[in-house]
Amino acid sequence: MAQTLIVSRARAGAFPTIQDALEIATDGAVISVEAGTYVEVVRLRRRKVSIVAAGKAGSVTLDATGLGSSAVACESAEVTLRGLVLTADDYPAVSVTGGRLAIEACEVGAVFAAGLSITDGAHVEATDVKVTQGQYGMVIEDSDGVVDKCEVRNIADDGVIVRLGASPVIRNSTIEGCGFRGIYVYHAAKPTIERCDISATGDAGISVAHQSAPTITETWIHDTHGVGIMFGRGCGGLVESCRVESTATPGIHVDEGASPTIREADERHRPRVGVQAIEGATKQDTDKVDKLLAELDSMIGLAGVKGEVRSLIDEIQVNEWRRSAGLAVGAVSHHLIFTGAPGTGKTTVARLYGQLLKALGVLPIGKFKEVSRRDLVGQYIGHTAEKATTVFEEALGGVLFIDEAYTLARSGGAAADFGQEAIDTLVKLMEDQRDQVAVIVAGYTAEMADFLDANSGLASRFAKTLEFENYSPQELVLIAGRIARNDDYVFAPGLEDALYEWFDQMDRGQNFGNAREARKLLEGMRKAQSGRLRSLGRVPSREDLRMLVLEDLLAAAR
């Protein structure tokens, strides 16, 4: 259990300052600070520590005004700050150089510097952070991470600066009342800006310069003195489904030599943005749900899987109706287990499931991230937890699909222990972030049972197991026909019967590839057709080029 140290000005036996507690704190310690104002500087170098308010958020103020330093200065450290008010004057209120910072429910501000400065390859996770004053709001330089549900207001210069190749995700955040630009992206930075509300800036809402390429989606830029979005020469990126209103003209300015992709927003779809985005995330897009369910129904076979997915969707929709009616709704897990042989549509269904959860307002993004053991397991002690956590964070807002998940289970040897570490890390993250991600693990039926035994809490994290059965010979013929039509081929009369016989006699053991077998056979038939047509001694007709015949099947089968 982590060491906990109490800091209090009133309690007997407590440490009077945070710095006093830090002097004896062990690695991983939690410093719990009771209400009050502490005039001091906290410097953390190569430390792993959490500093949290013991009471409600905002009850503890760490004031470095006049002390010639940041309130919290971290160097190559792993630090968590929660529920604090952090102030400084000529230095950033919080300064992070390398390492990792998790800052949650904090208020930060400086006078002649940034409220929050993240540099030199650091990783930041900022949630519910308010930057209330400063020359700059946040500066993220050569670093990455996630800025979620944050507010940057009343800033003298730029609200958020992203530079020197930095690639953070800035989402569900409000940037308002900046003297210059709302977000300034430059020096080859590649941030992702999602569902943000940017307004009342003295210049552009978002300015992009010096070979940068941001991704800006579902963001509202409005009431700015400058243009909404400015792209300088040599810059690229993507602007998609954004609203740019009440700005200087043009709303989006693209310099000569810039090459962003710009896709207009659908005016009928106006998602909530800024710090209100999460509140509005429960809105359901019923038209999108119906289209996705129709796409699921169009898949060949999988009757049982389709029924299970529909029951899950029905439950989510009914829960939302209950919530709207003021009725109780229990906690629901969206994590699933997919079992079955390869080629049975597990990945395709997982993608559709993620899009359905987004359309239902359950997940904010609905993106799909597919990983395997090598993406989660490190090569030395301690590396795996960090690696698995990073992958998990990248999937937040969407689906994390772990194929052949059973390979993570302990089976003896040091390497397998690292796999066990990945499982244990995932179990905790799946519970802590269950409202922000859907984890789907997939693999052979028998092996997945061993995987679930690898951690006592693993099975309980999943809502349901969906069994993907092998396709029947007739279904494989239909799949082959669909693949052929999509590639502009047709079957000669009688070929479907021959295909049925071929699939019916195939060994359907554990290594049977299902739809992959159909695709592999079609590839062989196309190659056989090419050789056959080359030997005709004439230029084949259009019908010849489209037609696959029994001879092609026999050649491919050989």
Q: Residue 73: which domain range? A: 4-279
User: How much helix, strand and coil, in percent to the nearest 5, is found in the chain?
Assistant: 30, 30, 40
State whether 426 and 330 are in the same domain: yes
CA dihedral 79, 81, 82, 84 (to 10 degrees): 170
CA–CA distance, 317 with 515 (Å, rounded to integer): 32
DSSP state of 492: P
Domain boundary (238, 264, 279) is at 279
d(Cα 50, Cα 39) in Å, to the nearest integer?
19
38: CATH: 2.160.20.10
Contact (Cβ atoms closer than 8 angstroms) between residue 288 and residue 265: no
What is the model's pLDDT at position 389? Answer: 84
128 shares its domain with 204: yes
CATH of the domain at 519: 1.10.8.60
- Is 112 in the same domain as 217? yes
Q: Residues 191, 230: one domain? A: yes
CATH number for the domain harbouring residue 403? 3.40.50.300
Same domain? For 230 and 359 the reply is: no
pTM: 0.54
**Mean pLDDT per segment of 10 residues, for the chain of length 558 residues?**
85 93 93 95 96 92 96 97 96 97 96 97 96 96 95 96 97 96 97 95 97 96 96 96 93 96 73 63 70 89 88 83 65 83 87 87 79 80 78 83 82 57 83 80 84 79 85 88 88 89 77 80 89 86 89 84
Q: How confident is the model at residue 283, as a pLDDT?
A: 58
Domain end marker among 279, 310, 337: 279
Amino acid at site 127: T
Q: Are residues 417 and 495 in the same domain?
A: no
Same domain, 482 and 514: yes
- 332 and 288 part of one domain: yes
Give 555's contacts (C-beta < 8 A, 6+ positions apart).
Answer: 524, 525, 528, 531, 532
Assess whether 262 and 405 both reside in one domain: no
Cα atoms in the Cβ-side hemisphere of radius 13 Å centred on 36: 14
| Structure letter (DSSP) for residue 470 | P
Let me know how long the chain is: 558
Per-residue tokens: 334:
């969206």
**Same-domain pairing of 218 and 338:** no
Looking at the structure, tell me whether residues 256 and 376 fall in a common domain: no
The number of domains in the chain is 3
Q: What is the 3-state secondary structure (H, E, C) of 206-254?
A: EEECCCCCCEEECCEEECCCCEEEEECCCCCCEEEEEEEECCEEEEEEE
Q: Are residues 232 and 182 in the same domain?
A: yes
